[in-house]
A and B are shown apart, each in its own frame.
Chain A
Amino acid sequence: MEPQLAEQLVSSLKGAGIDFVTFLPETRLSQILPLIRDDPDIELVPVSSEAEAVTIAAGAVLGGKQAAVYMESTGIFVSSYSLLIAGKSLGVPILLVVAFLGGFEDQRQSFLYANIGKHSIPVLNGLGIENRVIEDGANLESKVKEAVRTANAQRSPIALLFAGEFSS
């Protein structure tokens, strides 16, 4: 990912009101981490599993934060129980910022990732979590704002799956 795309993504998260990010690091979007870490307006919380990235974010939202979870798409599978309980059953809006491995738009597509990519969106759909694939920076600010607004309105997690230029 080009550095300016990372800056644009972080700026878009801030513009949408995100002030709390839990994460497990991965490869494709990792350039956003130093930017978030150095930003005094966003609390960055490292975790050991995407399952707790979701529950911690849910608690922060109930406590007044606007939270995002940054994860690799494998994290969708790891956190699906937390998404169902803390996200859907409790009804807590969380923005899922997902590095989308293995989809058509993944520029690092490989046999390692293809199965993950094939099943990521069906699992999100099965959980009732609406999602969009984002391939470039066009209208990124608007897309992130729309996702957060929709998450709040639905009282549900919403997923943005980053691929294309974000996976280069």
Chain B
Amino acid sequence: MIRYECLEALAPMITDQLFTTSQSGQRIEWNHLTDHPGNLLVGNMGCAIGVGVGLALALPNRKVIALESDGSVLLSLFNLPTLANLDPPNMTVIVFDNGVYSGTRISYPTATSGKTDLTLMAKGAGIQHAVTVSDLEEFKQEATTALNNDHASFIVCKVDETLVHRETPRPTTDLAENKYTFVRYLERTEGKAIPFVGRG
């Protein structure tokens, strides 16, 4: 199983969900596969789950999905007990675990290539629905369930390393443009103004 085919399967499931991404190949591939205004492509590691949890708490009627990588989750493990204890029912984390820091271009192994199991860590943190999936059909099933359930989910997808993201056109919107597209989308779909934007 590779990440791109998982994202290809996920893209048609989008309705009004909100997505946050960390910096890694899935940011590029997800942006290429969808032009969903509910995508917030947080372009650095370690922030997608936190921003997603904040959105999930502020908008309990919206499903929020954080698209993560093993390296990014390992960088921000404090998110796991917080996610477990807050347990926002509208929050899903999908971790594409390829076992390497592919951005290094030397495929330096992450801890998940060694002794570390992110699903067990999530369970140990207290996330009740933490699962590992290893093939595409399993992924489709878990993703479909996660988009429709009412509890926090943590899905670790064991994927092969690929270089698809290096052959995929990169996002051309900067963080500010992406933020305002996202916020205006929320204003339209939530029917309310986002206070910080204010008046000019």
| Interface, chain A (partner B; CB < 8 A) | 17, 20, 43, 45-49, 51-52, 54-67, 81-82, 85-86, 89-93, 151-153, 155
Contact = CB atoms under 8 A, between A and B. Distances in A.
A90 B53 contact: no
A93 B196 contact: yes
30 contacts: A46-B85, A48-B79, A51-B78, A52-B49, A56-B54, A57-B54, A58-B51, A58-B54, A59-B20, A59-B54, A59-B57, A60-B55, A61-B54, A61-B196, A62-B55, A63-B57, A64-B194, A65-B54, A65-B58, A65-B195, A81-B46, A82-B50, A86-B47, A86-B50, A89-B44, A90-B42, A90-B175, A91-B179, A92-B179, A151-B196
Interface of B: 20, 40, 42-44, 46-47, 49-59, 76, 78-79, 81-82, 85-86, 175-176, 179, 182-183, 186, 190, 192, 194-196, 198
A53 to B, nearest CB: 8
Contacts of B196: 61, 66, 92-93, 151-152, 155
Given A47-B82, A64-B59, A90-B179, A85 B42 contact: yes
B82 A60 contact: no
A52 B182 contact: no
Nearest to A65: B58
Given A60-B58, A61-B54, 9 more contacts: A17-B195, A48-B82, A49-B78, A51-B78, A55-B54, A56-B57, A59-B51, A65-B195, A91-B176
Nearest to B174: A89
B contacts with A: majority SS: helix
Given A48-B78, A85-B42, A91-B175, A63 B55 contact: yes
A29 to B, nearest CB: 21
A51 B198 contact: no
Contact of A153 (B52, B79, B85, B198): B198
A104 B44 CA distance: 36
Contacts of B47: 55, 82, 85-86
Given A47-B78, A64-B195, A90-B42, A55 B190 contact: no
B54 A63 contact: yes
Contacts, number: 122
Nearest to B54: A59
Nearest to B179: A90
Contacts of B176: 90-91
Contacts of B49: 52, 55
A49 B76 CA distance: 9
B70 to A, nearest CB: 18
Contacts of B79: 48, 52
A152 B58 CA distance: 18
Nearest to B176: A91
A51 B195 CA distance: 24
Contacts of A64: 58-59, 186, 190, 192, 194-195
